[in-house]
C-alpha cells in the first residue's frame, strides 16, 4: 500500500464512522418515538432535522470517498450540536424552565429515559453531534496536511 492509498483509506474510515454514528442516532431516535412512543418535543425535532440528513450525506460521501463531505456535513452537525447543547442545558436545569420555548404540547425538560443513571436522550444527542464534529475536524486536519 502506498502512502496516499493509506491516507485515503483512513479518510474513508473516518467518514464511515460518521455515517455509523448518524445512522445509529437516527434509528435510536426513531426507536424512542415509534416503538417506545415517546412524543418528540420541539427541540428534539430540530435535532432530528439536522441528524437525519447526515445519514444520506455521509453515505453519498463514501462512494467514492469524498473530502468535500466536510463542507456539506459540518454546518448541519454544528447547528444540530447547538440545539443539542441547549436542550442538554435545559434538561439538566442550567436554564430555568420558565424560559424554555416549548411549554405547549410536549415538555422539553421532562425526563423520559435515564440509562445507567446518567445517560439521557438529549445527552445521547449531544454525544453523537460532538463525536461527528470531532471526527470531521480530524478529517479536515488530515486533508490540509
Partner 1 sequence: MKKLNIVILSSIFLVLLFVLGIYLYKTQQAKNLDFMARENASIFVRDYSQTLGSDDAKVYLIKFSDPACETCSAFHPFVKKLMAVNPGKIKLVLRYAPFHDGSDYFVKILEAAKKQGKYWETLDIMYRTQGHWASHNNPQPQLIWRFLPRAGLDLDRIRKDMNDPEIEKIIKQDLADAETLNVRKTPGFFVNGKPLASFGYQQLQNLVESEINEKY
Q: Helices (H), strands (E): how many in the chain?
A: 4, 0
Of 59 and 78, the one with the shorter C-beta distance to partner 1 is 59
102: left (phi over 0), alpha (psi -120 to 50) or beta: beta
Helix or strand run (H / E) with residue 9: helix 3-30
Contact between 113 and partner 1 per CB under 8 A: no
- What is the smallest separation between the CB atom of 40 and partner 1, expressed in angstroms? 12
Of 27 and 89, the one with the shorter C-beta distance to partner 1 is 27
Instruction: Please tell me the distance from the alpha carbon of residue 140 to that of residue 136, in angstroms, as a whole number.
Output: 6
Q: Is the dihedral of CA 68, 72, 75, 78 positive or negative?
A: negative
Of 30 and 119, the one with the shorter C-beta distance to partner 1 is 30
List the x/- string, 61-100, binding to partner 1 by CB under 8 A. -xx-------------------------------------
Residues that bind partner 1 (CB under 8 A): 12, 16, 19-20, 23-24, 27, 30-31, 35-37, 39, 59, 62-63
Amino acid at each position: 500500500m502506498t502512502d496516499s492509498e493509506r491516507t485515503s483509506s483512513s479518510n474513508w474510515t473516518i467518514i464511515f464512522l460518521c455515517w455509523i454514528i448518524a445512522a445509529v442516532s437516527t434509528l435510536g431516535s426513531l426507536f424512542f418515538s415509534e416503538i417506545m412512543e415517546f412524543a418528540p418535543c420541539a427541540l428534539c425535532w430540530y435535532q432530528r432535522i439536522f441528524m437525519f440528513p447526515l445519514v444520506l450525506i455521509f453515505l453519498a460521501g463514501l462512494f467514492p470517498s469524498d473530502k468535500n463531505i466536510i463542507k456539506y456535513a459540518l454546518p448541519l452537525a454544528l447547528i444540530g450540536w447547538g440545539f443539542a447543547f441547549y436542550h442538554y442545558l435545559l434538561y439538566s436545569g442550567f436554564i430555568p424552565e420558565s424560559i424554555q420555548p416549548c411549554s405547549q404540547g410536549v415538555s422539553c425538560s421532562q425526563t423520559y429515559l435515564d440509562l445507567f443513571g446518567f445517560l439521557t436522550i438529549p445527552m445521547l444527542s449531544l454525544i453523537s453531534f460532538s463525536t461527528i464534529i470531532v471526527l470531521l475536524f480530524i478529517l479536515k486536519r488530515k486533508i490540509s496536511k
